[in-house]
Amino acid sequence: MKGREKLERHKVSLLKCSNYDYDLIKKSILKSFKNLGGIDKYIDKGDKVLLKINLLMKKRPEEATTTHPVFTKALAKVLIDYGAEVIIGDSPGGPFNTSILNGVYRACGIEEISKEVGAELNYNTNSVEMKNEKGLILKNINAIEVLNKVDKVISVSKLKTHGMMMFTGAVKNMFGIVAGLEKAEYHVRMPNIKDFSNALLDICILAKPVLSFMDGIVGMEGNGPSGGDPRQVGAVIASTSPYHLDVVATSLIGINPGKVPTIQRSVERGICEGNFNDIEIIGERIEELKINDFIVPEIRSLDLLDGKLPKFMRTIINELMQPKPVFNKNICVGCEKCFESCPPQVITMINRKPSVKLDECIRCFCCQELCPVNAIDIHRPILMKLLARL
């Protein structure tokens, strides 16, 4: 890179794993540790390790919204056998309380595997303000208290598309260290994708995962992170760097990493190059596992037009190309989850059906993310789809 010091090469382990057979995954996890230099390089015996998995909402494992319980079980078992104490946790969407956590742990199959393997489930629902000196825009973050009670954090994400951010992987997974409904405040404070993706990086920097694993065995394509379709990918990915892991994961599903907001910010901030110059892949070649027709949503972003049109035209066109949430009232069951989770509170319930003030909608798609019956679609104007290809 011109004018910048040459970045160190980060190791990313990429392995084939075709299904959720426990022994197969455990083998892949052991191999991943070996590829990254050995478990003892990162974890000390007796360490308390938080597995920050993705537990967005109550979903069955086969729906591919959450980190698969067998993946979590195999990783926890390897760590416990090594001599670590394992705590499994996340702050799902909606309020952060014991009753919601219980429901999510049970539905997602995590309660069962934690008992089988002897891992603890996090029920500490306190949050603490933590200083984040290395953050760019978030210098203080209200994080879940368990983060302060462990020695190490491992990000255990799920490979998925995302309506607002295009892709959710190892970096976006760390947004779950922000407690419950406080996540909504971040959306309100930073409705712009560029600011929000910078905030996601700040949160990941604070959480500082010592390692990142990704359950890419069955990912989600289309209307992610919860309303899309499961898609076989067959990959277990691991790295010391969540930023570099995401570059490999996006490439694997045919996304140009340079189009993903969190990767764009990582490049701007000199954390990674956004390509393979600073990555050493150990294991399979990307081409061995690459999927070229993975369905990926176009995202709303003025960045797409930066430098391509004058500012006044961008403002007008941006208005015309805004995607919008569309509520299918025939599918809606009136649960009010969208109403409760809308950060700027622009949804009202009329006769048990949601109605949205679109002119005040910040297009965060939290409503779509948390609808339990996929009754919310993101409508993307044709103009937006065309411009997104520019």
- Point out which span in 45-53, 62-70, 272-280, 361-369 binds ligand SF4 (CB under 6 A): 361-369
Closest approach, Cβ 111 to ligand SF4, in A, equals 24
Distance CA 288, CA 41 (A): 29
Q: Count Cα neighbours of 111 within 13 Å in the Cβ-side half-sphere.
A: 12
| 273-332: contacts with ligand SF4 (CB under 6 A) | 325, 327, 332
- For ligand SF4, give the closer residue by CB, 107 or 335: 335
Binding mask 99-118 for ligand SF4 (x = CB under 6 A): --------------------
- For ligand SF4, give the closer residue by CB, 26 or 337: 337
Strand partners, 116: none
Asked if 347 interacts with ligand SF4 (CB under 6 A), we say yes
Closest approach, Cβ 196 to ligand SF4, in A, equals 12
- Point out which span in 32-40, 149-157, 299-307, 366-374 binds ligand SF4 (CB under 6 A): 366-374
Closest approach, Cβ 53 to ligand SF4, in A, equals 23
- The 3-class secondary structure across 185-244, one letter per residue, is HHHHHCCCHHHHHHHHHHHHHHHCCCEEEEEEEEEEECCCCCCCEEEEEEEEEEECCHHH
Asked if 193 interacts with ligand SF4 (CB under 6 A), we say no
Q: Count Cα neighbours of 362 within 13 Å in the Cβ-side half-sphere.
A: 19
DSSP 94: S
**276, burial (CB in 10 Å: exposed 0-12, middle 13-18, buried 19+):** middle
- Is residue 279 a contact partner of residue 251, using CB atoms and an 8 Å limit? no
Among the listed residues 12, 75, 119, 364, the single contact to ligand SF4 using CB under 6 A: 364
Strand partners, 220: 160, 230
- For ligand SF4, give the closer residue by CB, 132 or 161: 161
Asked if 362 interacts with ligand SF4 (CB under 6 A), we say yes
Closest approach, Cβ 372 to ligand SF4, in A, equals 6
Look at strands 279-283 and 324-327 and give their pairing: unpaired
Among the listed residues 248, 337, 380, 384, the single contact to ligand SF4 using CB under 6 A: 337
- For ligand SF4, give the closer residue by CB, 69 or 261: 261
Among the listed residues 95, 180, 230, 344, the single contact to ligand SF4 using CB under 6 A: 344
Distance CA 324, CA 362 (A): 9
Q: Which of 74, 95, 232, 218 is nearest to 154 (CA)?
A: 74
Asked if 56 interacts with ligand SF4 (CB under 6 A), we say no
At 217, which amino acid appears?
A: I
Distance CA 301, CA 376 (A): 21
- For ligand SF4, give the closer residue by CB, 344 or 381: 344
- Point out which span in 63-71, 146-154, 170-178, 364-372 binds ligand SF4 (CB under 6 A): 364-372
| 241-280: contacts with ligand SF4 (CB under 6 A) | none
Q: Which of 172, 180, 166, 179 is nearest to 199 (CA)?
A: 172
- Interface residues with ligand SF4 (CB under 6 A) are 325, 327, 332-338, 342-344, 346-347, 354, 356, 361-367, 371, 373, 375-376
